[in-house]
Amino acid sequence: MSAADLHVPVLLDTCMDLLAPALSESSLFIDATLGMGGHTEAALTRFPHIQAVGIDRDPAAIALASERLAPFRDRFTAEHVEYDSMDEVVAKHGKPMGILMDLGVSSLQLDDASRGFAYAQDAPLDMRMDTSQVQTAQELISTSSHGELARIISVYGEERFAGKIASKIMNHPDRHNLTTSQLADLVKEAIPAAARRTGGNPAKRTFQALRIAVNDEMVILERAIPMAMDCLEVGGRLVVESYHSLEDRIVKKAMQAGSTSSTPLDLPVDIDKPPFKLLTPKAIQADDKERLANPRSASVRVRACEKLSEGRRS
């Protein structure tokens, strides 16, 4: 099965419309989360004069996306790096006019049971986006104290029963060899029945938390958003799709900081024009039609900004 069959990009037209004013002529586009190449394929098709660079930490994603994008081989280059190394990519390829980030776990990773991201099928607890890194989710569980495990589940999963879940995990007789389905069962046992009646699978937040911790996602994102804004050419645009509140808060904070003047309110003249313009005062969400067609769009939040000047860093 091809990458195009495996993955339907979320809010594809919305993202392309936001990028369009910056990519109308010959310019560079960076897809900072290449995945299976759906967004890059759309950009290369819609904007026939651009060059594109796709960044991903997952070698399997790069291989699939490169196959999908073979018809554009003279306009597309893939780079196996994390997106907080975008400055290195820009030093090599030049400043972009458009940058897209589609955050979180990809369809490729979710749908491959052996990667250990999902609880629907039993598999080892891996959860590494970059399979060349050392620490897996199982190793994280095996080496963490109760307090550290509870903190990870509470902070990154926003799970109110984090302490009980951590206790269930720590007390399991075979904690060092848990599988995805065993972990999901432990989480279910730890959460009171009344709290399990709404909100989908009760293991969702715990799996999210472990995935974020294993891949250091929030720390990387906090570095990557200001770096992406700094890397843009003047007139360029950054579009970011996030899927939970932790990601969205980081994106919102960085974009608001870059688009807010620091001139005191009592001064009649703006002495510090912000270097960015916020294109999405409120995050864009999927409508009912999109959610029905693509269930993974249910939680998406899209934010975008435009670079007006080099100015101060965001």
- Cite the annotated binding site by residue number: 37-39, 56, 83, 102, 109
Q: What are phi and psi of 224, to 5 degrees?
A: -75, -40
Question: In Å, what is the CA distance from 229 to each residue of 78, 114, 259, 270?
Answer: 21, 35, 11, 22
Cβ contacts of residue 148 below 8 Å, gap of 6+? none
**E strand or H helix at 31, and its extent?**
strand 28-31
Q: What are phi and psi of 67, to 5 degrees?
A: -65, -45
**What is the C-alpha radius of gyration for the chain, rounded to an integer number of angstroms?**
21
Q: Can you give the length of the chain in residues?
A: 314
Rounded CA separation 219/276 (Å): 23
**Taking the CA of residue 74 as centre, how many other CA atoms within 13 Å lie in the half-sphere pointing to its CB?**
2
Our CA angle for 291, 294, 296, nearest 5°, is 85
Closest CA to 307 of 252, 219, 230: 230
Rounded CA separation 163/147 (Å): 8
Rounded CA separation 49/26 (Å): 5
| Binding-site positions for S-adenosyl-L-methionine | 37-39, 56, 83, 102, 109
Structure-token pair, residue 254: 């960085």
Contact by Cβ (8 Å): 210, 154? no
Q: How many CB atoms are closer than 10 A to CB 80?
A: 15
Pairing between β-strand 28-31 and β-strand 98-102 as defined by DSSP bridges: parallel
